Structure 1
Amino acid sequence: MTPSLTEWGVPADRAALAVLAVHGRGQNPDFMHATAQRLGTVSARFFAPEAEGNTWYPLSFLEPVERNQPALDRSVRVLEACLDRLAEAGFGGDRVVLWGFSQGACLLSHLVLSAPRPLAGLVLFTGGYLGTTPPVPDEKALRGVPAVLRSIEDDPWVPRHRVEETAALLRQAGAEVDVRVDPGTEHIITDEACATATELLNAIAARAATH
């Protein structure tokens, strides 16, 4: 499987890190590209895969995992192939940040909690783990990995409790989690979320540049 990736940002040979940007349901890489413009200047190369039919899996992420198969497993394989592509381009796990919104954030939550790989950071906007039973993460899988989780109190698709439960699972896996849920009823990404993500990316880029 060779996924097609939309790319933007600093040229790969000069970028301190790579960001795998995963869009939500009904979106495409253009949404992540537009949102990345809100992040300001970051020494990063962005790579965005596109879901078949603009959907990574068919039903709500709150449904039992098996009800979203086989699309879910297929989408996980796409992300794993993307990470292999980044490694081939010179971006090892210590220089890769995973960033997703909505369904993309849910898919990334599922990936890092069920099939973790080395990574430099995690940014999840309005998403959480998939299924009705919480995964049991390896307590060392994400040791020291900084993670930013942001959502909206009364988001129409993603309940607050699932975001907070996901934050707890990431901490259990060793991640250093910054979680915030702002008041509101819209399915949006706030300016504060973008600003915090930018701070995280710049901190990781600065650390990568010293190694």
Structure 2
Amino acid sequence: MSYLDCVEVQTDIPATASIIWLHGLGANGHDFEPIVPELRLPNSLPVRFIFPHSPSIPVSINGGMTMPAWYDILDMSIERKVDLTNLTESAMAVQALIDREIERGIDSSRIIVAGFSQGGAVAYQAALTYPKPLAGLLAMSTYFATKDSITLSEANKDISINIMHGSQDPVVVPTLGDDAASTLNALGYQPSYKQYPMEHAVCSEQVSDISTWIQSVLA
């Protein structure tokens, strides 16, 4: 079995939980690596962080330039036309990483899938279709690209979903975060949703909130 190349941040003692964290368009697995110490998780909660590198593919909105991307974006309209085949394939590659964590001794209910921007769209698909219960889904500055095509897993109908968005985001406009939260509520989920006074980024208040949420869902 081949897996996505990943950056891994291990704890000094054996991990009891795992977080698979997906980067955005044009970035790589190192992008969110520096956030690990900023989360200040307690030593009593040993978490293995896994930051996969996406493949590099031509991206239509950037003139067909080849760059790290989880899927092709066909246009930047509010509907976000994307290559759903690419996206689904990336989600399956993330689910293979979840399977590997289970094989390494982590119970599925102690695995979180997180994603920023493009990575968040893949995280929605990967977590909500996974056939075993997961601990949580963290969706940052992103959108629910597969909301009209997804086949939801009954195993994750009660998953903890945390949606975070910048109120001044010019790249993924806040209405896309609003829409994701509304769609999930209509589907029977109970996502938390918070906006922060920022653009397409991550801020210190948000990092603190992420830490609190991680500790809550992995308690």
Do the structures match in fold with TM over 0.5? yes
Q: What are the within-5 Å matches in structure 2 for residues 167-182 of structure 1?
A: 167-182=181-196
Question: Which is richer in helix?
Answer: 1
Rounded to whole Å, the distance in 2 between the matches of 1:138 and 1:93 is: 17
Q: Report the residue type matching 1:47 in the other structure.
A: I
| Cα shift readout 1:15-34 (whole Å, capped 9, x = no counterpart) | 23100011111111111111
Quote the residue 1:187 is aligned against. 200
3-state SS of paired residue (2:92): helix
Gaps of 5+ in 2: 57-67
- Say how many residue pairs are matched: 200
Match of 2:145 among 127, 130, 148: 130
**How far apart are the structure 2 equivalents of 1:172 and 1:90?**
35
Report if the CA contact (8 A) 1:5-1:47 is conserved.
Answer: yes
3-state DSSP class of the match of 1:29? Answer: coil
User: Is 1:36 matched up with 2:36?
Assistant: yes
CA distance in 2 between partners of 1:156 and 1:137 (Å)? 30
Distance 2:36 2:51 in 1: 11
Cα distance in 1 for residues equivalent to 2:4 and 2:27: 17
2:178 to 142, 145, 164: 164
- Provide the residue aligned with 1:52 in structure 2: 55
Q: Aligned equivalents of 2:109 and 2:184: distance in 1?
A: 18
Q: What pairs with 1:19-34 in structure 2 (closer than 5 Å)?
A: 19-34=19-34
Over 3 Å counting, the alpha-carbon distance change for 1:98 and 1:147 in structure 2 is same
> Closer, same or farther in 2 for the Cα pair 1:72/1:87, shift >3 Å?
same
> In 1, distance between residues paired with 2:211 and 2:114?
11
Unaligned residue ranges in structure 1 (runs of 5+) = 207-211
Identity %, equivalent residues? 22
Work out which structure has the larger RCO, using CA pairs closer than 8 Å and 6 or more positions apart in sequence. 1
Corresponding position of 1:3: 4
The equivalent of 2:100 in structure 1 is 85
**Distance in 1 between residues matched to 2:150 and 2:93, nearest whole Å:** 23
What are the superposed Cα offsets for residues 159-179 of structure 1, whole Å, 9 maximum, x if unpaired?
A: 212212212333344443210
Q: Give distance in 1, aligned partners of 2:181 and 2:149.
A: 12
Shift of 1:141: 4.9
How far apart in 2 are the matches of 1:71 and 1:140? 24
Contact 1:140 1:174 in 2 (8 A): no
1-structure distance, mates of 2:35, 2:117: 13
TM-score using structure 2 length:
0.80
Return closer, same or farther for 1:94/1:172 CA change in 2, 3 Å cut-off: farther
What root-mean-square deviation, in Å, do the aligned CA atoms of Structure 1 and Structure 2 show? 2.4
User: Are 2:165 and 2:177, in contact at CA under 8 Å, matched by a contact in 1?
Assistant: yes
* In structure 2, distance between residues paired with 1:58 and 1:34: 27
Task: Flag the 1:135–1:71 CA change in 2: closer, same or farther, 3 A.
Answer: closer
